[in-house]
Chain A
Amino acid sequence: MARAALPGRLTWRAATLAESRGETPTARTLVLDVPDWPGHLPGQHVDVRLTAPDGYRAQRSYSIASAWPKEEGGKVELTVQRLDDGEVSPYLTDVLEVGDQIELRGPVGGWFVWRETQPHPVLLIGGGSGVVPLMAMVRARGLSRAKQPFRLIYSVRGPGDLIYREELPRHVRDDPGFDLFLNYTRQAPDGWPNPPKRIDVATINSHGWPPDFTPDVYVCGPTTFVETAADILVALGHDPKRIRTERFGGTS
């Protein structure tokens, strides 16, 4: 549950774009100003709703990318991956400008969440923009100097698709007990020791935690990626009840 639970039922409210950062040619981080934000837990998401002048509406969910600090200075950030045939994402990545408003409902989600009180090691497996809620967990761990060992397996098509490309190595360097494995599926950088391939048993076996470490596992990304990874984890012997998944829909 969020630290300060919202009283009563949650409804839609206005959020204003305060800042934005390009992460890749097709992904953008939006920094939103949301009045009276109660804070959020890493892994939670928001529902975003857009209304056209003729009343037409579209709604999608986006994971919160930022961690909420215990002191002042917290921000609500979403990292949006542009889907070419998407209805909402191209608007958020290409059209939305600083000062524009969208409607937001959140923070929501109490299941796909990491809490510092969880004592187990953590395995994060992200495909493409599935890394976003996992990054919130990595950032939260960094802010609180938590000691649970974290391993992140981040699968992307190629170097141009790597979100948080500068910040991830900083966490590896500065946060003891955080390890990162990048899995390229289509195109690897020059000199990369591993040829590109889709995530498989060998990858998760080598770069994940052994099942008898009873890690808390979080898998996020497109639906087929999540199902592949979850099947591999169960086949390797991980307890299905310790695996939390967040499917982003889509077909690949």
Chain B
Amino acid sequence: MMKLDGNAMAGDLREIFAFDVTAAQYTCAGCGHAEAIGALMLWGQEMGRVARCPHCDDVVLSLVHAPDRVFLDLRGAVRLELPLAGS
């Protein structure tokens, strides 16, 4: 009900990575499901981004914004596959 798609954190990720990450494929550390970051289920609202695998609900990625730094936790993603520019 209050959840969004991973695409909604494109801006937050674009502040960290020098290219768009939402089209990248993650592999879930919990269930092995692979899909685009944009397809993750996004929770957390103003506290931060909690991105869960739509297949098993495990947290794949979390992102918390402090005023002067960002905490990015990727331990729920076994692997990220990132398309390079021009593809």
Q: Which residues of A contact B (CB under 8 A)?
A: 1-2, 5, 7-11, 45-47, 61, 105-106, 108-113, 223-224, 241, 244-249, 251
**Which residues of chain B are within 8 angstroms of A105 by Cβ–Cβ distance?**
11, 14-15
Q: How far in angstroms is the closest Cβ of chain B from A82?
A: 20
Q: B3–A111 contact, CB under 8 A?
A: no
Q: B10–A45 contact, CB under 8 A?
A: yes
With A9-B15, A244-B38 known as contacts, the answer to whether A108 contacts B20 (CB < 8 A) is yes
A61 to B10, CA, bound (A): 10
Q: B85–A108 contact, CB under 8 A?
A: no
Of B15, B39, B85, which contacts A1 at CB under 8 A? B85
A28 to B80, CA, bound (A): 39
Please give me the residue from chain B that is nearest to A58 by CB atom.
B46
Of A10, A46, A112, which contacts B15 at CB under 8 A? A10
A110 to B36, CA, bound (A): 10
**Which residues of chain B are within 8 angstroms of A249 by Cβ–Cβ distance?**
2-4
Among all A-B residue pairs, the 5 with the closest Cβ atoms: A111-B38, A110-B20, A108-B10, A110-B23, A47-B11
Most buried by A among B14, B16, B39, B86: B14
The B interface is mostly helix, strand or loop, or mixed, namely loop
Q: How large is the interface on B (under 10, 10 to 19, 20 to 34, 35 or more residues)?
A: 20 to 34
With A223-B1, A223-B2, A249-B2 known as contacts, the answer to whether A109 contacts B15 (CB < 8 A) is no
**Which residues of chain A are within 8 angstroms of B20 by Cβ–Cβ distance?**
1-2, 108-110
**Which residues of chain B are within 8 angstroms of A9 by Cβ–Cβ distance?**
14-18
A223 to B45, CA, bound (A): 14
**Known contacts A110-B22, A111-B6, A246-B7, then 11 further A-B pairs from the complex at CB < 8 Å, ordered by chain A residue:** A9-B16, A10-B15, A46-B11, A108-B11, A109-B20, A109-B22, A112-B5, A246-B8, A247-B3, A247-B5, A249-B4
